[in-house]
Amino acid sequence: MRGLADIYAQQFKVTIASFLQYRAALVIWLIGHVLEPLIYLVVWTTVSRSTEGSVGGFTAGDFAAYFIVLMVVNHMTYTWIMYEYEYRVRQGTLSPDLLRPVHPIHSDIADNITSKLITLPGMLAIAVILGFIFRPAFHPVPWALAAFVPVVLLAFLVRFFVEWTLALAAFWTTRVSALNQMYFMAMLFFSGQIAPLELLPHPVRVIAFVLPFRWTVGFPTELLLGRLTPVQVLTGIGMQAAWLMAGLVLMRLVWRAGLKVYTAVGA
């Protein structure tokens, strides 16, 4: 355990040092993470203003609060691993990682968390600025605030393991982008990123309940906004735990099978 903590500490340092070399890229990345929810926010507040002040019970202020919180939550649980793995496998840059006596997932986790810690202050500042502009109806409940911490952590882990496992498809096909595209479309829709799931038809909500997407973005967002009952929260945590277990088991299986077919091209 101490050994692993040491590895994480060193990886933090490496990521910070590399990150600071690319400040411009960092800003562009952050802008990307702000723009998407901002577009939905503008669309939905406009719609609600033009339809007697609310859509399915969501006022303009509710939409503002929803998309601002969602923006922060999405940033916290986001991973870029699916874009990266194809390159790693095709170029053989995975090989040096495989020679090390530690599972490569650890450096990815450390790298992700470090990047988030560096960029989070910027993200929160943007959220505050957007708050002044869009006047969100944000009334946090103390117990929901407390529950948000473990829930968002679970959301991050679920998303990380699911996406890390899907990224391993790169072992079998060198054209992962099509798969990624499908995944991101489903993510956009079923996670609540396009619209709050409450506003979608019942069958869609049932599908969203079963799939992992909602539990990585929409669920923590709804929780923080105080839109969930304690029972709903406990059910959600149960679903998160189930997906985390499934993700871990799948990851181990797929990883082992993937290494068997890995050809270590070029390196």
Q: Which residues bind other proteins (CB under 8 A)?
A: 3, 6-7, 9-11, 13-14, 17-18, 21-22, 92-93, 95-96, 98-102, 259-260, 262-264, 266-267
Q: Tokens standing for 93?
A: 């840059």
Strand partners, 58: 55
How many C-beta neighbours within 10 Å does residue 78 have? 19
Shortest spacing between CB 22 and other proteins, in angstroms: 8
Shortest spacing between CB 105 and other proteins, in angstroms: 13
Q: What is the b/e burial string over 196-225, where b = at least 16 CB atoms within 10 angstroms of the residue's CB?
A: bbebbeeeeeeebeebbbbbbbbbbbbbbb
Shortest spacing between CB 70 and other proteins, in angstroms: 32
**C-alpha distances in Å from residue 246, one per residue of 75, 174, 212, 241:** 23, 25, 10, 9
Instruction: Identify which of residues 3 and 142 has a Cβ nearer to other proteins in the complex.
Output: 3
Q: Residue 208's Cα: distance from chain center in Å?
A: 16
The count of C-alpha atoms lying within 13 angstroms of the C-alpha of 101, restricted to the half-sphere facing its C-beta, is 2
Instruction: Identify which of residues 17 and 231 has a Cβ nearer to other proteins in the complex.
Output: 17
Instruction: Identify which of residues 202 and 256 has a Cβ nearer to other proteins in the complex.
Output: 256
Instruction: Identify which of residues 102 and 117 has a Cβ nearer to other proteins in the complex.
Output: 102
Residue owning tokens 């990851």: 251
Instruction: Identify which of residues 93 and 181 has a Cβ nearer to other proteins in the complex.
Output: 93
| Residue 58 to residue 72: CA distance in whole angstroms | 20
Q: What are phi and psi of 180, to 5 degrees?
A: -60, -45
Shortest spacing between CB 4 and other proteins, in angstroms: 9
Shortest spacing between CB 120 and other proteins, in angstroms: 22
Instruction: Identify which of residues 9 and 128 has a Cβ nearer to other proteins in the complex.
Output: 9
Shortest spacing between CB 263 and other proteins, in angstroms: 6
- For CA atoms 198, 72, 160, 244, the dihedral sign is negative
